[in-house]
């Protein structure tokens, strides 16, 4: 399958965050994304359909982020009406430095409304 876009970006729009990280089980917000960029890893082979996420939080609770007991849900806004959930493949690199986030090998999952 050939993909059209190599890079997708999102940013805060009309005071609406570019994305949200939460813990559904607790109903707790971990952080809000100010902007994000998804870069496609490849068209064929094991990287087909996978992206690397680089994002900047407007705020993030590092204590909740680093708490491995609760799974986090990451939702990005592609348009004002279209949201996607990000799922990361197991054993891939995730780095949070201050408010900057890098997640390798994520897949977009459409959220139906």
| pLDDT tens, residue by residue, 4-38 | 678 999 999 888 999 999 999 999 999 999 999 99
Strands 73-77 and 51-60: unpaired
Q: Indicate the average pLDDT of the chain.
A: 91
Query: Where are the domains positioned within the chain?
Result: 7-110
pTM listed for this prediction: 0.90
User: Smallest Cα–Cα separation from 34: which of 54, 19, 49?
Assistant: 19
Which of 112 and 59 is assigned the larger pLDDT?
Answer: 59
Q: Mean pLDDT throughout 87-110?
A: 95
């Amino acid at each position: 399958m050939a993909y059209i876009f190599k890079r997708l970006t999102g940013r805060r729009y009309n005071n609406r965050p570019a994305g949200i990280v939460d813990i559904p089980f607790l109903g707790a917000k971990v952080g809000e994304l100010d902007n994000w960029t998804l870069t496609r890893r490849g068209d064929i082979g094991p990287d087909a359909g996978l992206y690397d996420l680089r994002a900047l939080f407007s705020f993030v609770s590092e204590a909740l982020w680093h708490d491995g007991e609760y799974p986090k849900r990451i939702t990005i806004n592609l348009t004002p009406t279209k949201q996607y959930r990000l799922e990361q493949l197991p054993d891939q690199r995730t780095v949070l430095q201050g408010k900057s986030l890098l997640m390798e090998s994520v897949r977009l999952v459409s959220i139906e409304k």
